[in-house]
Every structure is written in C-alpha cells, then in structure tokens.
Chains A and B, each alone.
Chain A
Amino acid sequence: MSEFLLEIKGLEKSFLGVHALKGVSLKVRRGEVHALMGENGAGKSTLIKVLTGIYRKDGGSIWFDGKEAEAKTPMEANAMGISTIYQELNLVPFQTVYENLFLGREPRTRFGRVDRVRMVQEAEKLLGELGLAIDVTKSLHHYSTAIQQMVAIARAVSSSARLVIMDEPTSSLDTQEVQVLFRVIRQLKGRGISVIFISHKLDEIFEICDRLTVLKDGEYIGDYDIDKIDQLRLISLMVGRGTVELKRNKQGYDFAGARAIVCLKNIRQGMRLNGIHLTLRQGEVVGLAGLLGSGRTELAQVLFGSRLPEEGEIFWWGERARLHSPADAIRKGMGYCTEDRKVEGILPHLSVKENITIALLPRLSRFGFIKAREQERIVRHYIERLNIKTPSPNQAIVNLSGGNQQKVLLARWMCMHPKLMILDEPTRGIDVGAKAEIEQLIRELSENGISVLVISSEIAELERNCDRVAVMREGRVVKELTGDDICQDKIFQAIAGGSEREETV
C-alpha cells in the first residue's frame, strides 16, 4: 500500500477558454494535515471541486487509497470517504443538531420509522468524542459558527470519511474557537484521517499543518514540508514575482504636507478588521497590499459605508464623519469600483449610457425628467476620455469586453467628480492594453487632486502606481512604505513579518 492516501497527477481542467488547472499534482499522506496554498485564481477551489465530484476533470489522474478514483457527484465522493467542510456550511439551520448529523442516513426502528432516540444518543456520543457537550436537540442555528463547524466535522467523521477537506474553516472563528478546531483536527490525525486544510492565515498553516502544496495561476509550484519552509519563502511562491515592467512611475514622496482627505482611526469590525489606522492625503495614490483575507476589501467597505465598523472613527477633511450607507459616502464624494464587477458593478442589460449616468441621475434630472442632451454630452465625453470601445452609447454593457466594462464603471464615478476613488482589484481579468489605460487613468486622477485607494493582489502593479503602500495582515496595517521603499521585496517581507514589526502611522 502506498504511503499516500491521495495522489493527484497532472490534473487538467478548462472552462470555456479559461485554463484553470494546468497539470496540477497533490499528494496527501495518511493521517497528515496538508495545506493547499495559493492566491485568488490559483486553482485551489477548482481542484477541490474536481476532487469532490462537482466538476469533471479534463485530464490527469486521481488515486485515492490505492485505487484510481473519479467521483461523479459529491455523493460518490462521500461514499469513497472524501468529505468536505465548505466555507458556507452545508447544514440545515432550522433542524436540530442530531437531525443534521444523520440527515440522509437516518437509523430506523423495526417498523421503518426514523429512530430519534438512537439518533440523539449517537449524536451525543459522536460530539462527545470530539470534546463537545451540547444539547443536540436544539436547532443548529442556536449555536455559534464554530459549533456548527464541529457538527459538520462530526458528520463527516461519522460517515467514515478518510479525507476531510476544510475550506477556510477558521475565517469566521475567534482565536479560542480556532484552538478548539485544531484540537479536533489533531484528533482526526490521531485516528489516521487526512485533512486538506485551506486557509490564508499563515500562522495557522504553520501551527497545524505537516506539509503544504503551493498552486499559482492554475499551475503546480511544489510541495514542501512545513519545517523546511518559512513564511517569506511561502509568500513569494504564492504571489510570484512580477516580471512585467518593474519601473516605478513615481519617484520620491511629495505628499507629506498635503491635506488629509480621510483618516481612519482604530477601525475594528468582526474578525476581519482589528484596529486599522490609515490616512489618505489629497491627490495621493495609496495601495493596499496583503494576502487574501487580510481585510483589504473589508477596509474599503467600511470606508464606503457598506460595512459598519464596531469601533473606531473616520474623519473626512478632519471632521468626524458618519458613514452609515454607501449613499453617505457618495454624498461626501467617494466612488467605489468593487472587486466583483459582475455582481456588484454593472447593470448588465442596460446600455453603456445608462450605466455611466445611473449614479448621476439625481443631478441630471429635473422634475423627474432626464435632461437628455446633458446626459448625452457627459456620456460622449467620458467614452472619449476613457477610450471606451463601444459601437454606440446605447450598446448593452454585457457586450463589452471586461476592460471596457471596467472603464464604464470608472466613468460612472468620475462623472460624479469624486474626491476619493476606491478601486478594488481594478485590473483583474482584463487585457494588457486596458490595464495600461486604467493605470494611466489612476495617474490622471491623482494629478487632478483626486485621492485613489487601490487594492491589488498584483504587487508589481502597486509598485508601479502608488505613492504609498500600506501592507495589511490579519486586519491590521502592519507597515507603510513610501517613495523608493516601495519594492516587492519589502512588501513581501512586511506581509510575512506579521505582528512583531507592527507599525502605525
């Protein structure tokens, strides 16, 4: 028998033109906790979905427990002994804990009715073994996410899983709950059950995992024993070094004396923001660097009023500001291009014209009638200025390429004459030409005295365009770099460095 419980070799998967997995390998030993590492789009979740039968592979082989295996449905994967604890828990909140444990495989009495007495007893025993003494007859939604997760794990274990996949299990747990989870994971290990662990919190990876595999852009980078790799090395493997044009567009730092447009003080929210201090000055381009889950997007949402902080203050032009909704933020003069264009950005079936002016409409209309000529003028102006490639302003926006859609969204905010633009991953998924244009536009905004906050996972992009880079880690700004200090090496170090070098401005 092979020492590996799971052996994946040369796995290939494509979606309509997107090559999501390019010959990926993954080997998991028996009773080992194995971390699967990679940034957004690295192919982690595609890999997991192929493994658990949600997607079908295009090529390569999967060996599980010495046999070639290909699950066609999640149920088949389950039957083979592969269980997944999803980010969004797949349990039924309004049913009891014990029902959730036994749904789909209820024990029955001799007369064929479901045996609730036995279910309750076995549920108590199962959870007891995992060190959890709770009332199993209460509905699941009475309990915290951590407990719900334990129930999901108990369910997996009791259905004789030999490989448990945990997709970001700790993202909504507090430190103590994480320790409870780790205790359970160690127990699983003790029973010879393997765990694939996905998390973006490096400290956790180094605490609980034995080995790790790194993926990047759908490619297999390598696997490593945890004690033979350090955080810095891991980050550079995951993020990769940008090879494109490294020349910075900016020199020095000219904003030391500029007025602060917005100032965040000690912002805390949930488990994502743990005391943020950050100041943006007029006309300055500030980049937010950090791994996935470090709180960058959440910070932007707090600034834009779509996420309410539990603690902390925001000052706008030095005055305390109440930002309770995006409408508040827009009134103050902010614009926010979100990370997910499709979900939160474009109005797919409306025209380019309508998409550009939708936020401006209140100012563009009189007695409820839109001033058509004014609208037309503005739309033409921005189509020209941003070089939006569309046959006509009346074209439906879905028919435009990703880059041009992004430019329409930028135009939407620019025609409002904002003071501060927040751009969340502005160049993701768009082609090189459009990328350069958007970077050019960021510079123009800045020259016109508009502050820009850029969130990007491409460190090279931040390096090229930002006057200042704030590095985030676990909900804190751990380092701020300005001027010539902005370079990939220093950013990587700051991401890896963590709390011991904490700095606030």
Chain B
Amino acid sequence: MRTAKKIYDSFYSRSTILAFLLLVVAAGILFADKDFLSVANVNNILLKAAKNGGFLALGMTFVILCGEIDLSVGGVFALSGVMMGLTGQLHPLLGIFCGLLTGVVSGYLIGFLVTKLKISSWIASLAMLFALRGMILIVARRSVAIEGSILTFAGARLLPGAIPGAKSGISILIPLLFLVTFLCMYIARHTKFGMGLYAVGGNGEAARMMGIDVGRIKVRAFVLSGFIAALSGVLLASSSGSATLSAGNVYETYAIAMCAIGGVKLSGGEGKFSGTFFGILIYFIINTIFTYLPAGISVHWQSVIMGALVLVSVAIQSQVFMRYRTRPPERQTGQKPRKPKCKDGNSA
C-alpha cells in the first residue's frame, strides 16, 4: 500500500515540483542580494498568491479535471465581495453568507446550462462572466467599503512581530490557502466525488456505463469552483476593507495558466491538486521575479514572457508524459480506425 501511495503521489506533480525547486534555487542564487529566500519575501509571495487568484486555480482544477472549463471565476471573485459589502450593511453574517452564495448560485447555473441544456462550458461560463460583470455595475456604482469587526475578519493577522518584514503578523489568508488546498486534495482522493471526477474527465462514456451520475459530478465541480472563487473574493474584500468593482479582472486566465503549469491536463481526467498548488507558487514566484527586473522591462513584456513560460512548461510536461502513454486502443473489427488523415485532406 505504501508503494502504491508513492507511485500515485509522485506521478503527476513530479515535474511540477522539480520545476518549483529549480526555480526556487535559481532565484535564491540569482537574487541573493534581494534576499529572495528571506522569510519576508516568502510571506510576500504567499500573500500575493492568496490575494490574486491562487484560490481560483484550486476551484478551476475541479472543473478542468472533469473535462470542462470555468471562465466565470473572475466575475464571481468581484461580485462576491461587492455582494458581501452591500448585504453586510443589514447584518455582517448575512453579508458573508450572500457573498459565498453568489459563487454557489453562479456555479450551479453554469452546471445546469452545461449538463441539462448541453451548452459547452466555454460558452456557458463566458456568458456567466459577462452577466456577472454586468451585475456588479448594476448593484454598485463605486467600490463598496467593508466595515465592522466581523466583516473584516480576514484582516486578522497571526503571530504579530514574529516575522521580520511583516511586523503586524501573517495574514490569515496564507494559512487559509494551505487549508483549502488540503481540503481539495482530500476531496479528490478520499471521496466518491473525487474518484468520479477523474472518471468523468478520463472517459465520460465509461463513467456513465459504470453507473456514475456524470451530470451531478459536473454540477458539483462547477459549484465548488464558484464557491471557492466567491470565498476568495470575500476574503480579499474582507482583508482589504473594500470591494472594488474591477477586482479579479482576467483572473480566470491566470487561474487556467496556474493549473496548466501545475500539470492539470486541460482535456480532463489527469492532474492533481498538489500540482495546482505548486503551479500557483511557480506563477507567483515568476511574478515576483519580474519586479526585480530592470525598470526598462515593462508590464507588457512581463505578460509576453509569462505567456512563453506557460507554453514551455506545458510543452515540457506533455513530453514527459508522452513516455507514460501507451498508444490508444485500436478501434476494432467492423469499423476501420478513424484516421485523422482522410483522403480529402491529403490530396495536395
């Protein structure tokens, strides 16, 4: 059993962890003068990850694992904070509840559109993203202030004074990011839903024949993704004391990039939450390194470089995994194998 666990654990995220370690060592040496590996800087990177879409990548992983995509998370991220601020004026707990509910409802709606109306999740979640962005502007004209001790719970800090460079203490967002990661890992590995997730993404037809309710699994994945995005939005608004209307703009693309770096296959069925977690870390380490670069390299170039890095990391992983793949089972008698090369395409 122990060896089993070892194989299982090491399989997908090995290359991601390797990349992570390499990156940390390289950055540590190259930027030693900037104290790259200092506690303060590590705290800084983790805080960035927790505030700027790290959570979204975790939620996104559920959706991608079952073979779908969720482009709405950036919208959920912003609207949930705004909703919390507005309804929180009635009662703070109601505010938190409504903030989180935003994500659940939006996730459920996408799940419904995808599983019942058979709309592609690209379209369904894109439409939801537009709708959410519009909703934000309908319900609020300007940033909403988050006030009161309950609503600003996420502003709490742990161990004040313990960390050089962060005198007021560690933001509770950081341990929460770890906690949510562990919860996701647990769900993926130790629940029926988790096993079903991989089966649905790996071979949906087979999953259906095995009596798995494919639709329900997908709906749950979307709800989880929406919930985690809303949680993240609530936490950001709560810790910063205001909910901005443009929060989380294009974060859905960052989230997908983090998953891809983390070795989660966009085709579904392959990938792990530990991988996504390291994907998040790699993303924000690189992001931090950009701030060390000479001022001449503009934000725009940073984006170009980030794009290239995502491509390279995915390319490396697909090369690595090529070796593990066997050729797909041949289609059998009666039907000839479907050839991608059909005579029409090759006549030139």
The answer to whether the Cβ of B212 comes within 8 Å of any Cβ in the partner chain is yes
- Let me know if A104 and B212 touch, CB within 8 A: yes
- Let me know if B341 and A326 touch, CB within 8 A: yes
Distance between Cα atoms of A422 and B190 in the complex (Å): 55
Quick one: which of A105, A270, A292, A343 contacts B338, CB cutoff 8 A? A343
- Let me know if A103 and B343 touch, CB within 8 A: no
Quick one: which of A92, A338, A339, A359 contacts B206, CB cutoff 8 A? A92
- Let me know if A172 and B205 touch, CB within 8 A: no
Residues of B within 8 A of A104 (CB): 196, 199, 207, 210-212
- Let me know if B329 and A306 touch, CB within 8 A: no
Distance between Cα atoms of A283 and B8 in the complex (Å): 61
Quick one: which of B191, B196, B344, B348 contacts A362, CB cutoff 8 A? B348
Residues of A within 8 Å of B, CB-based: how many?
A: 62
The answer to whether the Cβ of B300 comes within 8 Å of any Cβ in the partner chain is no
- Let me know if A90 and B206 touch, CB within 8 A: yes
The answer to whether the Cβ of A88 comes within 8 Å of any Cβ in the partner chain is yes
**Contact A88 B343, CB 8 Å, known A114-B195, A298-B336:** no
A interface, by DSSP: helix, strand, loop or mixed?
loop
Distance between Cα atoms of A343 and B342 in the complex (Å): 9
Residues of B within 8 A of A361 (CB): 347-348
- Let me know if A347 and B343 touch, CB within 8 A: no
The answer to whether the Cβ of B202 comes within 8 Å of any Cβ in the partner chain is yes
- Let me know if B336 and A103 touch, CB within 8 A: no
Residues of B within 8 A of A270 (CB): 330
Q: Which residue of A lies closest to B203 (CB)?
A: A92
- Let me know if B198 and A347 touch, CB within 8 A: no
Q: Which residues, 61 to 81 on B, are CB-close (under 8 Å) to A?
A: none
The answer to whether the Cβ of B319 comes within 8 Å of any Cβ in the partner chain is no
Closest Cβ of chain B to A177, distance in Å, is 13
The answer to whether the Cβ of B10 comes within 8 Å of any Cβ in the partner chain is no
Distance between Cα atoms of A106 and B344 in the complex (Å): 47
- Let me know if B329 and A292 touch, CB within 8 A: no
- Let me know if B326 and A142 touch, CB within 8 A: yes
The answer to whether the Cβ of B141 comes within 8 Å of any Cβ in the partner chain is no
Q: Which residue of A lies closest to B202 (CB)?
A: A92
A residues sitting closer than 8 Å to B (CB atoms) are 40, 74-75, 78, 87-96, 99, 103-106, 108, 112-114, 116-117, 120, 137-139, 141-142, 145, 148, 168, 171-172, 200, 270, 292-293, 297-298, 301, 304, 306-307, 325-327, 330, 336, 338-340, 343-344, 347, 358-362
Q: List 30 A-B contacts (CB under 8 A).
A: A87-B331, A87-B333, A87-B334, A90-B210, A92-B202, A92-B203, A94-B202, A94-B269, A94-B270, A95-B199, A103-B196, A104-B207, A104-B210, A104-B212, A105-B211, A106-B192, A112-B191, A114-B195, A120-B4, A137-B7, A148-B329, A172-B329, A306-B339, A326-B346, A326-B347, A330-B347, A339-B336, A340-B335, A340-B336, A361-B348
B residues sitting closer than 8 Å to A (CB atoms) are 1, 3-4, 7-8, 11, 190-192, 194-196, 198-199, 202-203, 205-212, 269-270, 324-326, 329-339, 341-344, 346-348
Those 10 A-B pairs whose CB atoms lie nearest each other, nearest first: A137-B4, A92-B202, A113-B190, A90-B206, A293-B333, A359-B347, A327-B346, A104-B210, A171-B332, A104-B211
